[in-house]
Chains A and B, each alone.
Chain A
Amino acid sequence: MLTLRDLKPGERGTVTGYADDDPPGRLLEMGLLPGTPVEVVRRAPLGDPIDLKVRGFHLSIRQHEAQRIQVERL
């Protein structure tokens, strides 16, 4: 199952679900819901965290969290 961690900088996708049954509430409140388009803008200079563009703003999360979010490539 493709996750946000697998997307490379510049790639876009749509959130399809979560790897576990209890996705972190904070991510959901920021709008990372199934059906949401998301773009991986870049990775931090040291590789972690990553910069995402979602719903018009930039959100930064760690690879650990990115791994829990399932996507399909656009």
Chain B
Amino acid sequence: MPAPTPSAEVRTRRIALAGNPNVGKTTVFNLLTGLRQKIANYPGVTVERKSGRLVRTEHVEIIDLPGTYSLNPKSIDERVAYDVLVGRMDGEAPPDMVVCVVDATNLERNLYLVTQIVDLGLPVVVALNMMDAAQEAGLEIDVHTLSKRLGLPVVPITARSNVGFDDLRAAMAEQPEPSTEAKWGLMSAVDDPVQRLMQQLDDEVPGLPERRRQFEALGALTSDPLLNPWKGRAPGFYQAVLDTRADLEERKVPYRMAEMTGRYGWLSPLAADVITRRKDPSEQTRSDKIDAVLTHRIAGPLIFAAILVLIFQAVFTWAIPAMDLIETTIVALGSGVRSIMPNGMIEDVMVEGVITGVGNVLVFLPQILLLFFFLGLMEDTGYMARTAFIMDRLMRRMGLSGASVVPLLSSYACAIPGIMAARTLANERDRLITIMVAPLMSCSARLPVYTLFIGAFIPVGAFFGFIGYQGLAMVSLYLLGTVMAFVAAWVLKRFVFKGSASMFVMELPPYRLPRMRQVLWRMVDRSKAFVVRAGRIIFGLSILLWFLASFPKANPDPAVENARAEVQAAYEARIDSIAAAEGLSAGELVARGPMDAVNRVEEQRQLQLDELAVENAGRQIRQSIIGRLGRAVEPIMRPLGFDWKISAGILSAFAAREVIVSTMATIYSVGEEGDGEPVLLRDALKADRYPNGEPVYTPLVAVSLMVFFVFALQCMSTLAIAHRETNTWKWPIVMWLYMFALAYVFSLLVYQGGQALGIG
């Protein structure tokens, strides 16, 4: 390559990274780009676009294509890979060269994609990865012969231990010529018509190299997504393809198989020639031995269940100390800000709105981190595929797929990573159903609600002395959501998404030791994305909610003002009498320092002022927008056992579930600064009464409310992600509606049923 002249503008070289899934392409990408990465989305689709700059180099961009087994566009990933490689992707110039990452232990199947990319006429460097695993499996690969027969540079590497990357970068810098080798043969019954089609294409769209023309002609013949773009550009060719198809079909020529038969027909002997096996191939590999246990008929599901329990324990129990720490810090921060900032609106927004709101997101961070950690661990070791393998039959009965297991499990922590994880589902229908039911898996945000109400209203005690009522209640709520998710999936499959059954074709990759650094890095990366995305929304909402709760400002109640004045007067009178008894003035008494009698008077004053503050805050909430909205919807909510305060809380929770706790705290004016005993929200709820003296919250009301929370979709972030993943507002809206219907109906049944049975 000629060196650029100093005054010439240096063009950015674009290098695409292609390869099968599970070949370590991500590791290669990370090693080539270091931390100089950028993640976005391709226009109009939900496929991630990962790009980065080559380390220690300027002007070289590396684009990580989705992992694909072939370029034949059956799935959205393949479509994107193909479009980028031929330069059809909006806003992307075609790459200057392609680095194909190939798994050395799986040469034949991996090279299939390589021959396709070669046929597109692009320069290719083969990164022969997993050489360590190959050696362990007793495979010796004649790299030289492989390189010669492919007509491509082949660089052996082991990405996980950073071996071979100097050679790889050198090969990449040299910009190879497109290969003139690797000429696989097409069966003549298909080759003849393809040659004619190639001619036709050349007539209408001259300038395409011969190999590329063959790829396009054969591709158009066998695949509609490859044919359709030609309708406008080369209508004669388009029609000729249709005619050829009809002819071949009539003569029963297996033309759809021709490409695969042809490519593998060339690859099989090549693999046989370059691979020397030092071990008996029928001997069980270590991976096989592990699978014998992990997918064993009995041990398999048991081990899977045990792993799930472990993950659940970790995410819900071990995370607690960290969560408490974060919560304490947030509260301290709030107090700190209050003490610094002048009293007033800005202070209120900052503390009640922003700090509390954002704090509500951060509190979940330990759980999210742990969840992404375990997910990453399962993916990296290859166990993830086994979970789909074990669960598929069960999941299919309920309208889902084995691959839905992990997205749904993730949703127990948070539906957002769960919905994002649904991208692994190749079948669009399965993916959509998974997304639609994921929010029913009780996520972490519901926990504060469950905890508050179970703690306040479910009695402490146990069946048989060890099955605690409270624990049982918690488990029941989780079960309820889970069962309903499966029911909903079944209904969706049966009545809404009727269609042909999806195909399940999945590779079970060999088990590999996880690369902890990679797992941890991805954990941080994905958690960051969640916090930022959810955080932004919650931030905005917290401010909005603060506004709705604070305005319009209630006019000072003259009665309360009088009471306040009386309290102050009584206080002053008492201070004067104590001072007189000591022979001092009031000022000198206070200056002298702490004294029992004075302290008691101070405490009493504070207590009385606190009570008045509670009364005032209640009035404020009642007057506020959210209070009025709560009262407006109260008639609809009464049959469920909810008064206007709960209704207001529910309304606020539609933005984000955990917000109800802080809204209720505001309504009951709990947690205010003061020297008096802080009133626990739990106690405030228990103490609340209707005007006629009946308690607002009974255990039945609490259960009804919790059931409502099991089902209702109360999370703006989830709706936003669902919109992004489905590219439409239709499904998020349907999701919200059906979940609200479930929430209302079940809550109604619980409350009315309970009352009828005399429980309420």
The residues of A with any CB-CB pair to B shorter than 8 Å are 21-31, 33-34, 36, 41-42, 44-49, 51, 55-62, 64-65
Contact = CB atoms under 8 A, between A and B. Distances in A.
A22 B508 contact: no
B108 A31 contact: yes
Interface SS majority for chain A: loop
B530 interface: no
Contacts of A51: 291, 295, 389, 508
A69 to B, nearest CB: 12
A21 B109 CA distance: 23
- Return the 10 tightest CB-CB contacts between A and B, nearest first: A46-B393, A58-B508, A28-B260, A48-B393, A29-B70, A60-B506, A45-B300, A45-B297, A62-B504, A26-B505
B72 interface: yes
Contacts, number: 117
Interface in B59-102: 69-70, 72, 74
A36 B260 CA distance: 12
A49 B222 CA distance: 28
Interface centre among A31, A44, A59 (most CB of B within 10 A): A44
A60 B635 CA distance: 55
11 contacts: A23-B257, A26-B505, A29-B69, A31-B109, A45-B300, A46-B393, A46-B394, A48-B393, A48-B396, A49-B506, A55-B106
Instruction: Report, as a range, how many residues of chain B touch the other chain.
Output: 35 or more
Contacts of A60: 385, 389, 504-508
Nearest to A12: B282
Contact of B504 (A31, A41, A58, A65): A65
Nearest to A59: B507
A42 B393 CA distance: 15
Given A59-B506, A65-B503, 7 more contacts: A30-B69, A45-B295, A45-B298, A49-B393, A51-B295, A57-B508, A59-B507
Contacts of A47: 393
Contact of A26 (B109, B288, B503): B503
Contacts of B252: 21
A64 B393 CA distance: 12
A44 B393 contact: yes
Given A46-B390, A57-B106, A60-B508, A28 B74 contact: no
Contact of B507 (A24, A27, A44, A58): A58
A58 B291 CA distance: 11
A57 B109 contact: yes
Interface string B384-397: 01000110111010
Given A22-B256, A49-B389, A31 B264 contact: yes
A42 B295 contact: yes
B257 A49 contact: no
Contact of B72 (A29, A36, A58, A61): A29
B301 A45 contact: yes
B151 to A, nearest CB: 22
A57 B508 CA distance: 8
B494 interface: no
Contacts of B69: 26, 29-30
Interface centre among A24, A29, A48, A58 (most CB of B within 10 A): A29
A64 B260 contact: no
Contacts of A62: 392, 503-504
Given A30-B505, A33-B264, A62-B504, A44 B108 contact: no
B296 interface: yes
A30 B109 CA distance: 6
A4 B567 CA distance: 88
